Structure 1
Amino acid sequence: MNERSYQPLDDYGLIGDLHGAALVSRDGSIDWACFPRFDSPSLFARLLDSSAGGHWQLAPEGSRTHSTMRYLEHTAVLETVHETGTGSVRVLDAALPPVDGRSPSVLVRVCEGLAGRVELESVLRPAFDYARDRPRLEPLGDVGLRIAGAETSLSLVSSIGQQGASARVVLEPDERSAFVLGWDDEMPRPGDAQALLDDASAWWRAWCETCAYEGPYLDAVLRSAITLRLLTHLPTGAIVAAPTTSLPEIIGGESNWDYRYTWLRDAALTLYAWYATGQRAEGDPFFDWICTRVGRPEVEESGLNVMYDVDGGSDHAEQVLDHLEGYRASSPVRIGNAACHQIQQDIYGEVLDCFASACSWGRADKLALWPHYRVLADWVTVNWREPGNGIWELRGEGSHYVYSKVMLWVALDRALRVAREKGLPGDLGRWASAAAEIRASVFEHGWSDRLGAFRQSFEVDELDASNLLIPLVGFLPSDDPRVRSNLDRTIADLGIDGLVYRFAPDGGAAEGAFTVCTFWLVNALAHAGRLDVAVDVFERMLGRSSPLGLFPEQISPGTGELLGNFPQCFTHSALLTSAVNLARAAHLGTAPASLDAPEGSAHLVPVRPDVAA
């Protein structure tokens, strides 16, 4: 097969085994794979260097091929159909979920002839450790090969006995060929591959049955739920922000970050989405993971970390990989993330709100951890006047971001609520006094008469889409004139073609619109009772996804191009919340699990009485 250029992100599908993940392109190439963990060094990284990054492509020989890709309904199994001048074949790709005692990190690819006669080629070019380790390919028995790197060793077994970098097979209708790649010495046999894929499909469909949502957006809801599940680390319950690193916010730019970690902010917002759609088997372990982070001894002295790896590590030293070109020549490529050293004060609000909601939403057992959570409220009273880096993790000097201040108020409000309702100890007078001071400071320094809206920070008199969340977290009601004006100005000045920028583009090579901000707009509109507009924005946004229903961090308003790390947890959890809110407020479907949410739960709009009935 010839070398080819970078593929658009909407040509990729995500597969995973709840430990690690891979991206498979429409032309049959696994261009990114990190196993046995999401943040493991890559096995294939063609996504970040088209010539040297490494890949495994399984596709018809020749360039005259038309290919289409879809997920088998309500599964994480990809089906790609290749049509050539001589016939057609399909390829099924999946990473097997580690159930029934099966070891994780097993990738299965099954090819089946559909019509005519098609020659397929398997081209294996591994490049371990971000293409810093070129493994040896050694025969393994008479049916496979060993891929031996300096620190990683894999096995590939196949029904065609591939024992080198490439092999070919000709398929006619109903003929199959199977490939299995993994770590375990006792690999599944190629002859069992189709049955394993059938089992995986059945497992995913059974899991989808646990989703407590019905309505016109069911397919989008289930695809987002499956995507969030694919980003979940099964042993710990943690969810990574995205399975990729260094996919650029601006093509050719330097804003390329490693998202293969768990942010507390994302964690809290995803927990609401799990609970609101009835996925308690996923939400509860995730809440347990959050509680473990809060309960660490060092939190009392130094506060929470912004982000963690899936097993709770927090030192993610950032490195630049100069030897990789970067996606579409967008360098540098980074691994690790220096944001781990930032102060992002909004996380205290998200974490304490998460605690207050979860304890009243079926997890009263966690009230025993109150001594750890009250420490967070005490931290806020001491540190709320300090600057921080904000929700957007802007590097450089900190600022007094309005959304951060609002969420610091949320932290104290929820701590006061829990202490009063449950009769728990705490410095309530001090918390209440600090909460009142924070609230007054937002009104005094965070409102801009010039903008007719809340400003980004006390220092910067510009709009910021994160302030759409002010009514959704209970800081002000949605009918407050300032909230209504902020909503209108955000739509007018940050909205473009049904999308929303996080803040005003600064000219030049502008980044894309932030996908999560558009779903925040849906929720803000629904909260304000502007339901027709909310539905329109939501449905237009669903049309912006990739053909497989996946969302990136950003979308270019002009071209619709997907930008940034892909797919993104934050966006898919926001989609779930928006779908639930339209069910609660606009009769568009039902989300019965959300009706058990405590009154005033953040990010959920009030239920119209006729919906509750």
Structure 2
Amino acid sequence: MRFPPIAEYAFLSDCEVSTLIAPNGAVEWLCLPRPDSPSVFGALLDRTAGLFNFSPTNTAVPEQRRYLPGTTVLETTWHTPTGWMTVKDVLVMGPLAEHRREGFRRSPGDSIAQRTLLRIATCFDGRVELQVNCFPLFDYARQQGVWNIDGPGYTRAKVVNGDISLVLSGSVPLGVVGGRCTGRTTLETGESAFVALSWDDTVPHDLAEANRQLEQTEKYWRNWMSMATFPDHRFRPYIERSALALKGLSYAPTGAIMAAATTSLPETPGGERNWDCRYSWIRDTAFMLRALHGLGFNGEAYDYFAFIMDAVVAGKPKGPWDLQIMYGIGGELDLSEQTLDHLSGYRGSRPVRIGNGAFNQHQHDVWGMLLDSVEEHLRGGGQIAPVVWERLADLVDTAIRRSAEPDQGIWEMRCAPQHFVASKVMCWVAADRGARIAESRGDAGRVEKWRLAAKRLKAEICERGVSERGVFTQHYDSTDLDASLLLLPIMGFLPPDDERVRATVLAIADELTENGLVLRYRVASTDDGLSGDEGTFSICSFWLVSALVMIGEHDAAEALFEKLLSFAGPMLLYAEEIDATTGQHLGNFPQAFTHLSLIDAATRLIKAERRTDEATNGLG
């Protein structure tokens, strides 16, 4: 059984768990009880690691797949030799979700999810034979459970493994053989059947209840989307799907938002650049808040900010100035990395990793990203307590002090530390934003101290981080380019019309691209401590769009953005990278940072377009 392309998976979420469904209808990724827990269905990383299929018996390729508008409900249409059928797949939202939709406020024991994966098939023409094949393998396929019929009518079965109890129920007669639960039925025109897999014993009792749960979930997502302000523009479908992806990557019990739903999807098929992204990165914070507030999702923005502050302030930091680059979605500090050698990996890409060894790296961009997010939070109407401000002030002082040290850089290189220019710039951001926040709080002593530090740091960067041709470099004593330098205008380090900024943006566009798409850096000339190659980074390509808009290259920005949209997956989702030659998506999926940068680029393009239209109409 071949692996589908990464971009062809559909992503479902109930904001407590998430799942990936392959084009053939197989659930190939589901981790329980949290999205960073061990997998129950893991065929995404090994074709023998468990799956859950609900599809026609004699057709492998669907006619069409789509999300119902404004939702994460997947609808797959099948054309078989004998008839037509649709299957609707959804992670069910519970009744509480509707009452809490205007911003989840964490309360122990509350859940907005029904903890049920519901699948409803309907034959709308002819006659279709339908199959069920549910084969969970627990603990990343290291343990197999045994199903038992659990109830009358052979339509309910149960399997228990440790703390995980799965109940499969529905209108299809079931049989069990060891760890596999299967069933078949035939649907005539107008008939429907359903199966529901629950890890909380909350399966619907009949088809009518299943349909109510489906409608309840559709209503939740559409109501959630109605809170936003989306632009009336041709880019709107991509912005909407990006917003839904970000919400789907959230973990409602804490407010955290994962970088991606998966682990170890490779940056190069068959290579070793395979990482676990089911955690929450500090560097995502400022971009996340800007996107959420910009679209009107203030509740999600406040919850995410609260999670970050809990982790940073109340999360038992290792010292008075320590700040991790990432945290577990429950605020966990220890994300030690392991390899799962028994799994073959997606398309043979080993090792399969869980945990992320970069969690204890020193990356100096985190202070700037955190302080920028605090300013964004305050701009969005939020507040911070005095104890939080004192903790943040310590972190500003730390950023200034440690800006003189080398680090691993924004790309988490596993090599000797360097004086990365982007890291220095983000230390400047920490001092700059800290001074602005201090001024708003009347903290005059810190304002003067931090502004002076920011001035000194900017002067050093402009002296040591610029090449002879007037272009910012990857690190001091280097002439290499790095896509992280696109953050210079985006983060306000220098104005967009600065000659060095413009030269850097254009140099990246000309020299650090393949087929027009942006690389993080040239692997051949950068010792990042890893072997093999990687694809173009989609976030960097969207950053380039934003930077081109800022320096006035609107036509080039729009052309690149349209090109990037052409690479979107069939479900309008993006992984971390794109192979510039084949267009294949690479890396973990869906990737929050990619969708954040898409929203930012689209917003800047739309605003620039409207300014141009207004100017033209004014002249007319």
Q: TM-score range by the shorter chain?
A: over 0.9
* Residue among 199, 206, 220 paired with 2:216: 199
Moved more, 551-560 or 266-275: 266-275
Distance between the aligned counterparts of 1:371 and 1:489, measured in 2? 41
In structure 2, what residue type is equivalent to 1:107? L
In structure 1, what residue type is equivalent to 2:600? T
* Residue among 541, 549, 556 paired with 1:526: 549
* Residue among 515, 521, 531 paired with 1:503: 521
Instruction: Kindly indicate whether residue 536 of structure 2 is the aligned counterpart of residue 513 of structure 1.
Output: yes
Distance between the aligned counterparts of 2:548 and 2:354, measured in 1? 38
Distance between the aligned counterparts of 1:311 and 1:425, measured in 2? 36
Deviation at 1:43, TM superposition (A): 0.8
Deviation at 1:103, TM superposition (A): 4.9
In structure 1, what residue type is equivalent to 2:339? V
Deviation at 1:82, TM superposition (A): 1.4
Instruction: Kindly indicate whether residue 231 of structure 2 is the aligned counterpart of residue 214 of structure 1.
Output: yes
1:137 maps to: 147
* Residue among 14, 31, 34 paired with 1:34: 31
2:352 maps to: 333
Instruction: Kindly indicate whether residue 197 of structure 2 is the aligned counterpart of residue 181 of structure 1.
Output: yes
* Residue among 576, 591, 595 paired with 2:599: 576
Deviation at 1:276, TM superposition (A): 1.0
1:586 maps to: 609
* Residue among 387, 390, 393 paired with 2:406: 387
Distance between the aligned counterparts of 1:299 and 1:415, measured in 2? 22
**In the TM superposition, what whole-angstrom CA distance separates every residue of 1:152-194 from its partner, at most 9, and x where no partner exists?**
2111101113242211111122111101111223432242112
Normalising by structure 1, we get a TM-score of: 0.92
* Residue among 149, 157, 165 paired with 1:153: 165
Distance between the aligned counterparts of 2:43 and 2:70, measured in 1? 28
Distance between the aligned counterparts of 1:34 and 1:64, measured in 2? 25
Q: 1:425 to 1:534 in 2, by over 3 A?
A: same
Instruction: Kindly indicate whether residue 122 of structure 2 is the aligned counterpart of residue 112 of structure 1.
Output: yes
Q: Is the 8 A contact 1:277 1:580 kept in 2?
A: no
Instruction: Kindly indicate whether residue 92 of structure 2 is the aligned counterpart of residue 92 of structure 1.
Output: no
Distance between the aligned counterparts of 2:533 and 2:279, measured in 1? 26
2:283 maps to: 265
Deviation at 1:127, TM superposition (A): 0.6
Q: 1:447 to 1:337 in 2, by over 3 A?
A: same
1:21 maps to: 18
Distance between the aligned counterparts of 2:231 and 2:386, measured in 1? 32
Deviation at 1:588, TM superposition (A): 8.6
Deviation at 1:608, TM superposition (A): 8.9
**In the TM superposition, what whole-angstrom CA distance separates every residue of 1:213-240 from its partner, at most 9, and x where no partner exists?**
2222111111000000000111211100
In structure 2, what residue type is equivalent to 1:543? S
1:594 maps to: none
1:405 maps to: 424
Moved more, 308-317 or 358-367: 358-367
What SS does the aligned partner of 1:387 have? coil
Distance between the aligned counterparts of 2:225 and 2:611, measured in 1? 20
Distance between the aligned counterparts of 1:158 and 1:438, measured in 2? 64
1:374 maps to: 393
Q: Is the 8 A contact 1:82 1:90 kept in 2?
A: yes
Deviation at 1:465, TM superposition (A): 0.8
What SS does the aligned partner of 2:250 have? coil
What SS does the aligned partner of 2:64 have? strand
* Residue among 216, 228, 246 paired with 2:246: 228
Deviation at 1:366, TM superposition (A): 4.8
- Give 1:193-592 correspondences, 5 Å limit: 193-216=210-233, 217-296=235-314, 298=317, 301-366=320-385, 369-424=388-443, 426-449=445-468, 452-506=470-524, 510-587=533-610
Q: 1:441 to 1:99 in 2, by over 3 A?
A: farther
What SS does the aligned partner of 1:79 have? strand
**In the TM superposition, what whole-angstrom CA distance separates every residue of 1:14-63 from its partner, at most 9, and x where no partner exists?**
0011011000011000000113211011110000001x210011111135
Distance between the aligned counterparts of 1:333 and 1:581, measured in 2? 38
Deviation at 1:99, TM superposition (A): 3.8
Instruction: Kindly indicate whether residue 185 of structure 2 is the aligned counterpart of residue 169 of structure 1.
Output: yes
What SS does the aligned partner of 2:66 have? strand
Distance between the aligned counterparts of 2:397 and 2:95, measured in 1? 43
Distance between the aligned counterparts of 1:431 and 1:116, measured in 2? 73
Distance between the aligned counterparts of 1:588 and 1:325, measured in 2? 52
In structure 1, what residue type is equivalent to 2:325? V
Q: 1:338 to 1:244 in 2, by over 3 A?
A: same
Deviation at 1:73, TM superposition (A): 0.8
Distance between the aligned counterparts of 1:310 and 1:610, measured in 2? 49
Deviation at 1:133, TM superposition (A): 1.2
Q: Is the 8 A contact 2:169 2:197 kept in 1?
A: yes
Percent of aligned pairs sharing the same letter: 38
Distance between the aligned counterparts of 1:365 and 1:377, measured in 2? 16
Distance between the aligned counterparts of 2:305 and 2:617, measured in 1? 32
2:102 maps to: none
Distance between the aligned counterparts of 2:312 and 2:416, measured in 1? 26
Q: 1:448 to 1:53 in 2, by over 3 A?
A: same
Distance between the aligned counterparts of 1:91 and 1:159, measured in 2? 14
Distance between the aligned counterparts of 2:143 and 2:289, measured in 1? 38
Deviation at 1:444, TM superposition (A): 1.9
Distance between the aligned counterparts of 2:114 and 2:212, measured in 1? 17
2:528 maps to: none
Normalising by structure 2, we get a TM-score of: 0.91
Deviation at 1:459, TM superposition (A): 4.3
**In the TM superposition, what whole-angstrom CA distance separates every residue of 1:3-22 from its partner, at most 9, and x where no partner exists?**
x1111112210001101100
Q: 1:65 to 1:304 in 2, by over 3 A?
A: closer
Distance between the aligned counterparts of 1:315 and 1:551, measured in 2? 28
Deviation at 1:98, TM superposition (A): 3.5
- Number of aligned residue pairs: 590
In structure 2, what residue type is equivalent to 1:358? H
Q: 1:405 to 1:58 in 2, by over 3 A?
A: same
Q: Is the 8 A contact 1:155 1:183 kept in 2?
A: yes
2:71 maps to: 75
Distance between the aligned counterparts of 1:366 and 1:585, measured in 2? 37
In structure 2, what residue type is equivalent to 1:168? R
In structure 1, what residue type is equivalent to 2:303? P
Distance between the aligned counterparts of 2:582 and 2:201, measured in 1? 47
What SS does the aligned partner of 2:343 have? coil
Aligned-CA RMSD value: 2.2
In structure 1, what residue type is equivalent to 2:418? S
In structure 1, what residue type is equivalent to 2:563? R
Distance between the aligned counterparts of 1:56 and 1:374, measured in 2? 50
Gaps of 5+ in 1: 591-606
Distance between the aligned counterparts of 2:345 and 2:611, measured in 1? 42
Q: 1:504 to 1:131 in 2, by over 3 A?
A: same
Q: Is the 8 A contact 1:516 1:553 kept in 2?
A: yes
Deviation at 1:499, TM superposition (A): 1.5
Q: Is the 8 A contact 1:416 1:428 kept in 2?
A: yes
What SS does the aligned partner of 2:350 have? coil
In structure 2, what residue type is equivalent to 1:316? L
**In the TM superposition, what whole-angstrom CA distance separates every residue of 1:467-519 from its partner, at most 9, and x where no partner exists?**
01101111111111101110111000112333111112429953111000111
**In the TM superposition, what whole-angstrom CA distance separates every residue of 1:423-451 from its partner, at most 9, and x where no partner exists?**
0265444423332332122112211125x
